[in-house]
Amino acid sequence: MFVLVNLKTYPCDPVDVAEAVRDVNDATDARLAVAPQAAHIERVAETGVETWAQHVDAIEHGSNTGHTLAESVADAGAVGTLINHSERRLKLADIDGAVRAAERADLETVVCANNPAQIGAAAALGPDAVAVEPPALIGTGTPVSQADPDVVEDAVEAAANVDSTVSVLCGAGISTGDDVVAAGDLGAEGVLLASGVAKADDPHSALEDLVEPL
């Protein structure tokens, strides 16, 4: 099970969370990673944790002020990137371009989408994984696997119908180990979460609770 912790722009210490993710990863069979803000990627990667970017743009080297270049986040230590998160929506052509840019920089990719139909479209672009995350549930503490399990099962089916090699992650409201187990029971191969760890008083304990049932 892949557990990807998105730090968003929460007022947490990214290094402290990264060290917690690293230490819990070393004690479990699950695969744990963290996605800090772009400015923190290098410091987070130096902890030895698997580090992801939150976004890359569909650009190459050149005149692109204010954009995020895939090669730059890779040079900083990222090994993968989120694309099209609900809080950083892209047009389909730009999602495709971002996937291509990430591939060029040897970054693993997770393309986020709102529903099974969008998951199918995202899977057709050839990312490594897709993540279904209904926006209404993000940050609520109510997991999609509980609120609407059909969304997860239908997303898994939609991706499989397009490209069986694309993994499906479950996002939105994941905060407990039971949520992670439920996501796996519905066919997801991982979870994408944020506030349950990034806003926790003790990220290490929160992570231990997440992976303990696995």
Listed in order, strand segments (DSSP E) in 54-114 are 80-83, 108-113
Q: Is 195 annotated as a binding residue?
A: yes
Q: How many structural domains comprise the chain?
A: 1
Q: Is 173 annotated as a binding residue?
A: yes
Digit-coded pLDDT (tens) for 104-133: 999 999 999 999 999 999 999 999 999 998
pLDDT at 139: 62
Q: Is 138 annotated as a binding residue?
A: yes
Q: Is 6 annotated as a binding residue?
A: yes
pLDDT at 83: 98
Active site (annotated) includes residue 204:
no
Whole-angstrom distance, CA of residue 129 vs CA of residue 127: 5
Q: Is 32 annotated as a binding residue?
A: no
Whether 190 shows a pLDDT value over 80: the answer reads yes
Whether 135 shows a pLDDT value over 80: the answer reads no
| Mean pLDDT, residues 6-32 taken together | 97
- Of the candidates 133, 153, 208, 212, the residue annotated as catalytic is 133
Whether 138 shows a pLDDT value over 80: the answer reads no
- Of the candidates 55, 67, 85, 204, the residue annotated as catalytic is 85
Q: Is 105 annotated as a binding residue?
A: no
pLDDT at 175: 82
Digit-coded pLDDT (tens) for 78-110: 999 999 999 999 999 999 999 999 999 999 999
pTM of the model: 0.94
Q: Give me the chain's average pLDDT, please.
A: 93
Q: Which residues lie closer than 8 Å to 118 by C-beta, 6 or more apart?
A: none
The boundaries of the domain holding residue 31 are 2-211
pLDDT at 151: 87
- Could you tell me the CA-to-CA distances from 204 to 17, 27, 36, 40, 122 in Å, in that order? 8, 12, 16, 19, 33
Whether 5 shows a pLDDT value over 80: the answer reads yes
CATH of the domain at 54: 3.20.20.70
Active site (annotated) includes residue 103:
no
Whole-angstrom distance, CA of residue 42 vs CA of residue 25: 19
